[in-house]
């Protein structure tokens, strides 16, 4: 009964999860998920749609069209959603023969040569690293992700881009809290004002903003050290930068439809349709599966011990022994199949 029902319960739980559009790569991840008390989320592409739109431009010494042109040239080779929004806002055509020396600067932005002039497009850290001053420049008034643009060491302006929150995310956060998650954490490279705005709307407990890719791993390491020994931490992300964090977390969950291949490969659980609400479903399936396993263990051992004691006292016959062996195994199998229903 024990040998058959325990793995069968986990197989049934994995099967039930797959029916709900949740791919679990192993029974151990299902068990760890059921113990989760901390849920960590990446923001862009996970909690938000990753569909950005330019909502404000603040040019400094050039026209807004020229500012968008510089940004479009800088982001031309990038396939990031932010880059797509810049290229969509720029009404002109990028001439590839004017571009040279494309370089991605991890966690900060992009550097290109346009007609021999160095163009920088990225966050404030990028400009600070080159000691480019923004003194006296107009500041953005709208909340969003801000890209700063510089040409030949001179500040040219900034572009504010806003992202939409995914449908149902707020309900998903509320659901996982009801399931037993004590602390919901959001990690993002965005400005603190943007992150706080999203967190307030979604009901997120802890916000860690303005992070570089390596900082996300450090934050998860810190949370792992601070959590209780008998609880686990889950991380949900979709981008290539999330792969190291997905591997470091106790359970890594990736978005399957829009997620990067590296994130899907590194994750332990994959949400096929990118619905964050499925995290609460996966959590509930995991808890149910572990309960069924515990029920089978207690039931199988209890019946066998009782029949052995009765047999030693002369009260149990052969049919009682048959029930304690074959009958208990059969009932444990029937109980294990309950996990097939999400």
Instruction: Please give the DSSP secondary-structure letter assigned to residue 307.
Output: H
Can you tell me whether residue 208 is helix, strand or coil? strand
Can you tell me whether residue 28 is helix, strand or coil? helix
Q: Whole-angstrom Cα distance, residue 164 to residue 285?
A: 29
Q: Which of 42, 163, 190, 238 is catalytic?
A: 42
Tell me the two tokens of residue 234: 């889950």
Q: Check: CB of residue 292 under 8 Å from CB of residue 15.
A: no
The three-point CA angle 16-18-23 to 5° equals 130
Name the residue among 165, 234, 170, 164 with its Cα closest to residue 203.
Answer: 170
Sheet holding 117-122, edge to edge: 48-59, 154-165, 145-151, 117-122, 109-114, 99-105
Name the residue among 267, 218, 250 with its Cα closest to residue 46.
Answer: 267
Annotation marks residue 205 as catalytic: no
CA 254 to chain centre: 6
The catalytic residue positions are 42
């Amino acid at each position: 009964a024990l040998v058959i029902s325990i793995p069968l319960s986990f197989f049934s739980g994995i099967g039930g999860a797959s029916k709900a559009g949740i791919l679990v790569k192993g029974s151990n991840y299902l068990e760890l998920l059921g113990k989760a008390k901390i849920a960590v989320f990446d923001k862009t592409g996970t909690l938000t749609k990753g569909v950005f739109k330019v909502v404000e431009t603040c040019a400094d010494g050039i026209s807004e069209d020229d500012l968008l042109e510089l940004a479009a040239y800088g982001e031309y080779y990038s396939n990031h959603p932010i880059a797509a929004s810049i290229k969509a806002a720029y009404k002109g055509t990028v001439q590839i023969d004017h571009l040279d020396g494309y370089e991605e600067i991890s966690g900060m932005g992009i550097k290109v040569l346009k007609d021999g002039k160095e163009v920088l497009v990225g966050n404030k850290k990028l400009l600070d690293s080159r000691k480019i001053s923004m003194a006296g420049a107009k500041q953005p008034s709208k909340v969003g992700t801000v890209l700063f643009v510089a040409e030949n060491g001179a500040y040219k302006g900034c572009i504010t881009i806003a992202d939409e929150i995914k449908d149902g995310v707020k309900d998903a956060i509320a659901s996982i809290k009801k399931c037993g998650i004590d602390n919901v954490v959001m990690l993002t490279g965005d400005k603190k004002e943007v992150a706080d705005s999203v967190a307030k709307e979604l009901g997120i407990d802890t916000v860690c903003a303005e992070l570089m890719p390596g900082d996300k791993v450090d934050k998860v390491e810190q949370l792992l050290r601070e959590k209780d020994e008998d609880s686990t931490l889950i991380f949900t992300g979709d981008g290539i930068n999330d792969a190291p964090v997905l591997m470091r977390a106790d359970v890594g969950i990736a978005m399957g439809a829009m997620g990067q291949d590296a994130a899907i490969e590194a994750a332990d659980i994959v949400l096929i349709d990118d619905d964050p609400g499925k995290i609460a479903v996966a959590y509930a399936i995991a808890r149910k599966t572990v309960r069924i396993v515990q029920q089978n263990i207690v039931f199988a051992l209890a019946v066998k011990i009782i029949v052995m004691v009765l047999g030693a006292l002369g009260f149990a016959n052969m049919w009682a022994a048959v029930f304690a062996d074959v009958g208990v195994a059969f009932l444990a199998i029937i109980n294990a199949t309950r996990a097939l229903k999400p």
